[in-house]
Structure 1
Amino acid sequence: MSKPEIESEIETQKQELIAALKACGAVRYGDFTLASGKKSKYYIDIKKASTDPKTLKLIARQAAFRIKQMDVNIVAGVELGGVPLATAVSMEADLPLLIVRKAVKGYGTKSRFVGDIKPEDRLVMLEDVTTSGGSVRDAIEVVRETGANVKYVITVVDREEGARENLNETGTELVPLVSAGDLLK
């Protein structure tokens, strides 16, 4: 596909995803406190989307389409919200899955990771919603401690509140499937 064809396909996909997110009830209005501590008049509940098979398949197809343009060999997700997304995308892109735990478990392997990771690996991380990018940035640091590199973060929805800039500081590119500005139009 040529660059204009890719851009046209991405715009079509964006409109499909916006419709699917609204249809499954993932966009809610009211008074909410976000994980970042910020207050918001809207909430994007991607757990609603990731538990709806049609919407999850759509997200997986769209993320896999973006991954074809990237030089990566592993799809990663942070527990809990990133796991179903990364699992679906891993299957769609036919790439190995890595799950990043938020903390070391006190039993079993006591590893922060489920799956294999090597220093030469190039990862794309899946996020449900990004606001400041703080939680995924922590996971990126843990992955980089192994010598592996996180080059991209694909987020279903970017709230456009600093995540792109914060991730750029780490040398990681944020790739939103949809921005809040698009979703709330």
Structure 2
Amino acid sequence: MDKKLQQIALDFYKSKAIKFSKEGFKFNLHAEHPEAPLSPNYLNLRDVFRDPRIRKNIAKQIVPIVKKLRPDILVDLPQSISPITTTISDITKIPMISIRSEALKGIKKNHGVKQSINGAFKNRQKVLIIDDVVSSYAFTKIKAIKVLKENGLKVIPKIIVVVDREEGGKEKLKKLKFDLINILGFKDILNLYLLKKLITKQDYKKSLEYGKFAKDYVLKET
């Protein structure tokens, strides 16, 4: 991990975007499989992305990837990543659209305009999905791919995330022929925090154990 990525990871810690708890946290995995053990850590990047310095530093890491893939439109998945995607759009001059949260949850609107995507787009335009985190099942990304294709868009088979929790989501997407591009891996973040003595050895060990369990749990179903 280079110094710029280290700074981003340390900013997450300083901003309390990563929390550790003996009681544990529930994720989407637990909604489908309540018997799974709780996670000893929780990663929430929603607030940290509102810091202009951190937002700009993350965007700088993603912009070269976006330019290489040359999408017609950027797609952000509501709502955590929206500030980052907006910054990238401003830098690259590539327009963006947002999938409505109701569409990702499979909820049909019964009021207003019944559209699943906010923003202007044309049939068969190439779109690139950007999100904050991928965890075990990559539910939101898989649903987003479906919604975009249903709306006549060509989805570039690459998905950019800021953090890969390394719990099987990457492998889930690979089975759909989508490659995951992550700026940071969660194990690298944990290694840095342990090196800097920001977390205990117990938090480190339990986090690695949970990550392995979640990944094994997901992959045995595929």
Are residue 124 (structure 1) and residue 117 (structure 2) matched? no
- The alignment of Structure 1 onto Structure 2 pairs a total of residues equal to 176
Name the residue aligned to 2:152: 147
**In structure 1, distance between residues paired with 2:19 and 2:91:** 28
User: Gaps (5+ residues) in structure 1?
Assistant: 1-9
Q: 1:100–1:112: 8 Å Cα contact kept in structure 2?
A: yes
Q: RMSD of the alignment, in Å?
A: 1.9
Q: 2:63–2:88: 8 Å Cα contact kept in structure 1?
A: yes
Q: Which has the higher helix share?
A: 2
Percentage identity across paired residues of the two chains: 25
| SS of corresponding position for 1:178 | strand
**TM-score computed with the length of structure 2 as normaliser:** 0.72
Q: 1:86–1:125: 8 Å Cα contact kept in structure 2?
A: no
Structure number with larger C-alpha Rg: 2
**In structure 1, distance between residues paired with 2:41 and 2:57:** 23
Are residue 42 (structure 1) and residue 48 (structure 2) matched? no
Q: 2:62–2:183: 8 Å Cα contact kept in structure 1?
A: yes
Name the residue aligned to 2:7: 16
- Please tell me the residue identity of whatever aligns with 1:180: F
Are residue 105 (structure 1) and residue 109 (structure 2) matched? yes
Are residue 163 (structure 1) and residue 162 (structure 2) matched? no
User: Gaps (5+ residues) in structure 2?
Assistant: 31-35, 103-107, 192-222
Q: Which has the higher strand share?
A: 1
**In structure 2, distance between residues paired with 1:66 and 1:18:** 19
- Relative to structure 1, the CA distance from residue 36 to residue 52 in structure 2 (aligned partners, 3 Å threshold; closer, same or farther) is farther
